[in-house]
Amino acid sequence: MITPRNSARDSRGGYVLGVAIQVVLVVLILIMVVFLASRMRMRLDLTEEKLYTLTDSTKRVLGKLDDRLLIEAYFSPDNQLSGQIADARRALRNLLDEYVQNSRGRVIVQYLDPHSDEDIRQKAQRIGIKSQTMSDRGDRTLSYKELWQGVRMRYGGKKQKTIPYLAPAIVPFAYEAALTPAVKALTVTEKPKIGFVSQPAPPAGGGQPGADFRALRELAEIKDQYDIVAHPLSNGALIPDDIETLMVVRPKDLTDRQKYVLDQFLLRGGRLVVFADVDDYSIGQQRMFNRRVMAYDARESKEKFLDQLLSYGVDVGTDILLDGQQQAAEGFAIMRRTQFGIPAMERLFYPYWFHPMPVDWADYADQLAKGDDGNVDEALADNYRESFKPGVSEAAKVIGAPGFYWPCAVDLAEEMPAGVTGEVLLRSSPLALEQAPPQNLNPTGRGRTPGQQQADYFKFRQDLVARFESEPRKQYGLMVEVKGDFTSFWKGKKAPLSPEAQAALDAQKKKEAEAEAEDPLNKEVGEDPVKDGEEKPAKDDDENKPAGEDRFKPEEVGPPVAPGDEAQDAEIPTEDVLEKSAAPGRLIVIGDSDCIRDDIVSGAYARTGGPYSRTGGRFFVNMLDWLAEDQDLFDLRNKIGVDRTLRFSGGDEDATGAQSVDQVRSKQFWVRALNIGIPPFLLLVFGLVVFVRRRMAKKTFIDSLGS
């Protein structure tokens, strides 16, 4: 028999049981929902650079796989990882999963644990996988762990590539930037050959050699895809046919023959890239920037290299450029003590280092046409809108823009040669001007003490202000491309002979001279008397010719003889001479070579305040791909390097854009103070309004009761 008391207890017990079952069911349902959601997930990558999304580059490269790609991942087990390294591993595994999903079954990932099996460990070491020692902080201990995170890729059983160690990274893009070029390298069947000619930068002094241009050529990403061969332009030989692209970096002391070689290469349909430079500035101790006079042309050469480029449609300036746009400036800083005696890097405005900005300057016409009274000069603004062009053209967007250091202007010729079209790819801001290269361009002069440096910089800045205020500023080209059917610069001129032809000719001349000397008819029997006032007959006109000229050749009559014909007459080696393009050629001229210089690209001066060409490497690699019309990796590379640096040093600077450390700190303080103070203040004001209104409403209510 059930008592009422027991019935209540049972009823309560039943309710609790019911609730418990409900809770368990709800928990199970929720777990299932979460599980299903993780299986059928959708992701939205909100980052501007799409850091968490596989790039189109990777998809393209994976899409082109026509054989099986086995990725052997030599990874330490996940359960031995902690903290951020564990997160980084998760990101890497997710990325490899995406490679598999996007490869139509071509990619297979095999995970191997070198910790679990000695054979795997030895194999990993044998193929070049390297472990790293990571510190691991425990509760009271500090231990070191061995971390394996390398991969070997095997493509179709024929080619393989090893990445010894993938450094842990939270953003999967860092892994993608290492893996995709490696996959791409495996699929390259034939590497395009690229000729490379360079002259080292001027020595810094103190017996140190000048910086070279080797670092970028040695990049694995480039070596995997291109066969870069240093071409000894100095030997005067024509460029071999298998070289389709020739890079001439910092052309200097070029002989006529070398210029002729370049001319013939272009006319053959080659792609010629010239990193031009006006006078150089060495980067010496105490950050002294001293002028080193540089000549494009060898002393004995008769033709000027700049005239040659002009004949193709490219006008290279002989002055250096300054850009007055603060945002375009490349970083330049010096170490200085603040008023409290604390050493700090102080950013200085140095308009000789700048980069083209990826904006359409026509959009800024109104802003730039503002007078001192703040009113816009409409006519001027219209003029600006028509003449200003984007800093980075559409075509150059895939290449990007490097920083330029003491560059020169490079523009299209006023009159383009027939059959040639051109485009300015990179431009300065409209606030740039040209200056004849001064002897010294160190903003802090030779001052040793901070006071002297300050005074020197003050003067340097004053000069800049005066220059920017008084001289006309305009937009200059920095990189130009011309293409089409070129006419030889040597057309109608006497073309220089090849070294072999010259040597053969010299030998033949010597032989002829000897034979002539032995001929009795040629022996002098005495000179004819010459009367006063009568011109002495020239024994040989060639005596008056400059050194190096053919002094033994009969006087030329009619059109100049092509070197081949001449050589043929003299039974010397011949060359096929082109006067018109045999195939459309491409010429790219860039107004600076420092942007790809070893010391500047590698950041040798980064800690001392610059110059540091962060984007030079990417620019170089992109340009190679652009020239080779290989766009596979553009998206991958162009994801790198969005500058998100905070700059409190802009805004209220003087005409040169400079601000002191104390000014910047003061600004930082106020920006921070306002951010901290205003929101609570607004909330309190709102509260006060609510309080006053409620009080008034209450008073009105009480008053209404009283009346």
Partner 1 sequence: MREAAIVLRRELRSYFVSPIAYVFGVLFLGVQLYFATAGWEDGGQASAAAFFQLMSYLFLLFLPALTMRLWAEERKLGTLELLMTFPVKVSHLIAGKFFAAVAFLALILLLTLGVPITLATYGNLDWGPVIGAYAATILMASAYLAVGMFWSSMTRDQIVAMLLTLVTLAALFLLGFPLFLAFVTEWGIPAWFVDLLEGISPFRYFVSILRGVVDTRDIVYYLCFCGFFLYANYLVLQGRRVKG
Give the residues lining the site for partner 1 (CB under 8 A): 15, 19, 22-23, 26-27, 30, 33-34, 37-38, 40-49, 51-52, 78-79, 82-84, 86-87, 136, 138-139, 170-171, 345, 347, 642-650, 664, 668, 671-672, 674-676, 678-680, 682-684, 686-687, 690, 694
Tokens of 253: 């002391």
Q: How far is the CB of 667 from partner 1 (least distance, A)?
A: 9
648 within 8 A of 671, measured Cβ to Cβ: yes
H or E stretch including 661? helix 661-706
Q: How far is the CB of 38 from partner 1 (least distance, A)?
A: 5
CA dihedral 148, 154, 159, 161 (to 10 degrees): -20
Nearer to partner 1, 140 or 523 (CB): 140
For residue 484, count other CB atoms closer than 10 A to its CB.
18
Q: What's the CA gap between 218 and 118, in Å, rounded?
A: 35
Tokens of 335: 């170490």
Q: How far is the CB of 155 from partner 1 (least distance, A)?
A: 31
Nearer to partner 1, 8 or 583 (CB): 8
Q: What's the CA gap between 538 and 535, in Å, rounded?
A: 9
626 within 8 A of 399, measured Cβ to Cβ: yes
Nearer to partner 1, 645 or 704 (CB): 645
Q: What's the CA gap between 640 and 49, in Å, rounded?
A: 8
Q: What's the CA gap between 521 and 448, in Å, rounded?
A: 77
Omega of the bond leading into 611 within 30 degrees of 0 (cis): yes
Nearer to partner 1, 170 or 702 (CB): 170
For residue 314, count other CB atoms closer than 10 A to its CB.
26
Q: How far is the CB of 701 from partner 1 (least distance, A)?
A: 15
Nearer to partner 1, 205 or 677 (CB): 677
In Å, what is the CA distance from 517 to each residue of 520, 549, 616?
8, 21, 61
Nearer to partner 1, 46 or 525 (CB): 46
Q: How far is the CB of 375 from partner 1 (least distance, A)?
A: 26
Q: What's the CA gap between 296 and 507, in Å, rounded?
A: 30
Q: How far is the CB of 171 from partner 1 (least distance, A)?
A: 8
Nearer to partner 1, 286 or 669 (CB): 669
Rounded to 5°, angle at Cα 331 from 438 and 446: 40
Q: How far is the CB of 63 from partner 1 (least distance, A)?
A: 24
SS (H, E, C) 563-609: HHHHHHHCCCCCCCCCCECCCCEEEEEECCCHHHCHHHHCCCCHHHC
Q: How far is the CB of 608 from partner 1 (least distance, A)?
A: 15
Q: How far is the CB of 167 from partner 1 (least distance, A)?
A: 18
Query: Angle, nearest 10°, between helix axes 256-267 and 305-312?
Result: 20
Burial class from Cβ neighbours inside 10 Å (0-12, 13-18, 19+) for residue 11 reads: exposed
Contacts of residue 333, defined as CB under 8 A and 6 or more positions apart, other chains included, come to: 345, 346, 347, 348, 609, 610
Q: How far is the CB of 44 from partner 1 (least distance, A)?
A: 4
Nearer to partner 1, 101 or 452 (CB): 101
Nearer to partner 1, 19 or 582 (CB): 19
Nearer to partner 1, 326 or 475 (CB): 326
Nearer to partner 1, 15 or 458 (CB): 15
Q: How far is the CB of 178 from partner 1 (least distance, A)?
A: 20
What are the helix (H) ranges across 471-522? Answer: 499-518
357 within 8 A of 381, measured Cβ to Cβ: no
